[in-house]
Structure 1
């Protein structure tokens, strides 16, 4: 069972690595990876009260995969963002790899996400607002980018207690 303790923390060099694509031959492994992501996210929610998505590299799984738990679960494999709006918005971002830190970032207001689902079926999803921000956050993890690296300026950090 994966828990909060298994999530890589800020400073772990693996969080800054670019992930490899999931191969179709690895599809049988995806189900167990997603189960681990679900377990860790559930533990974060119980401990800290937040969490809608988690990226595979946060558990040291260096693959282009993330999991969202919204109105239903979403398994996002090998995502691409072929279009994002010019319109941006500011938001205080949080991350399971540093739960006590909020970072003010700018994100695209809307985007188009192309990916494969858990059945290896191609999907296209147009999103906006907070869902756009969430997808950009998780997508960044796959490229070794943390929201701390996207801070608007050097005053865009806030500590929070639980």
Structure 2
């Protein structure tokens, strides 16, 4: 299993906006995508949680999200649309700050459009926990961490 260290809160690369992936780049990015999937599994083994990772979290400033819930799915150049007006509050965690929780507000539902590893366009309609997860990972692509979305200055707590 090939893994990379996950960049931690405070690393300047986490605050940079990622570049889109060109179709011609996809083959050369396959090894990095596989490393992202392995990194999710290693994190899950260590912490008991972990469903997705964004490329900037391993220092790759490309618009890629890797999700592994039932099976591995790579999302290339994801775009969010149709974000619901309805919001909900939740305690968010992150692989870049594994022992910290941050209370944030997220949209209850959305539409996610992306290219898969065959460069075929996918459209998913997500709600609740998957909508929240994708918003979290999408923020990473724009250099935004959950800590920056905290509801207020009392919206932080340690995981126990």
* TM-score bucket of the superposed structures, by smaller chain: over 0.9
Partners of 1:108 and 1:133 within 8 A in 2:
yes
Which residue number in structure 1 is paired with residue 67 of structure 2?
68
Cα RMSD over matched residues?
Answer: 0.9
Partners of 1:55 and 1:138 within 8 A in 2:
yes
Question: Are 1:137 and 2:136 counterparts?
Answer: yes
Query: TM-score with structure 1 length normalisation?
Result: 0.96
Which residue number in structure 2 is paired with residue 98 of structure 1?
97
Question: Are 1:118 and 2:133 counterparts?
Answer: no
Give 1:29 shift: 2.2
Query: TM-score with structure 2 length normalisation?
Result: 0.97
Which residue number in structure 2 is paired with residue 17 of structure 1?
16
Unaligned runs of 5+ residues in structure 2 are none
Which residue number in structure 2 is paired with residue 155 of structure 1?
154
Give 1:30 shift: 3.0
Which residue number in structure 1 is paired with residue 6 of structure 2?
7
Partners of 2:37 and 2:72 within 8 A in 1:
no
